[in-house]
Amino acid sequence: MNTTFEKYLDTVDKCLKPLPTSERVDIVKEIKGSILEMESDHLSTEEILNRLGNPKDLAKAYLGDLLSKESGFSWNRFLVVCAFYSVVGFSGMIVIPCLAIMAPVFIINGIACPIIMAVKLADSIFHLGLPYMENIGVFTGIIELNPVAEFVITLVIGTLLFLVGRGCWKLLIYYCKRVSKAKSDLEI
């Protein structure tokens, strides 16, 4: 067995820390036996690793199987459930509200900024005399730019804000899906 497989088995063992040592050893022996069997079938290291998959995912699968087999009370199950809800609860208090606020704010600002600058540009071109237009600008108080340049800069900034808002929204959806998947993997 080469060092790649030893590292793989070490990673699986580390990910199985919530389990008692005897169960971890049995699981690692089972995986090692599968590796040796595949080596005897003359599979390459890459093929074996592809069949086994990510070591962390494999360990999670074993953890999920062991938790679902236990029907009664178990300290291991209790601790895994507590750890899951502690991490999800704490991160959910920060991640979900922040992303839920940031996503629409960035998107709305990404749309509103170019629209407001378009109104300023129209006011400048057609001499409409709209109130407060002289107070609106990209670098107000720092640099006085021509309204066309401000509009172009605002288009770029608005696009960036919109993309950041969209990214925040996708990150929020991804976070919620991952938490839901982790919960279903644990079969809590």
Q: DSSP for 57-75?
A: HHHHHHHHHHHHH--S--H
pLDDT tens, position by position, 88-123 = 888 888 999 999 999 999 999 999 999 999 999 999
pLDDT tens, position by position, 156-177 = 999 999 999 999 999 999 998 8
The residue from 38, 69, 100 where one domain ends is 69
Are residues 181 and 105 located together in one domain of the fold? yes
Are residues 65 and 97 located together in one domain of the fold? no
**135 domain-assigned:** yes
Q: Alpha-carbon distance 36 to 54, whole Å?
A: 18
Quote the DSSP letter at residue 135: G
pLDDT tens, position by position, 131-164 = 988 888 887 778 888 889 999 999 999 999 999 9
Q: What's the total number of domains in the chain?
A: 2
Q: What is the mean pLDDT of the chain?
A: 86
Are residues 96 and 159 located together in one domain of the fold? yes
Q: For residues 62 and 16, is the Cβ–Cβ distance under 8 A?
A: yes
**78 domain-assigned:** no
The two structure tokens encoding residue 177: 């899906």
- Residue 124 CA, chain-centre distance (Å), reads 45
Are residues 100 and 33 located together in one domain of the fold? no
Containing structural domain, residue 127: 91-186
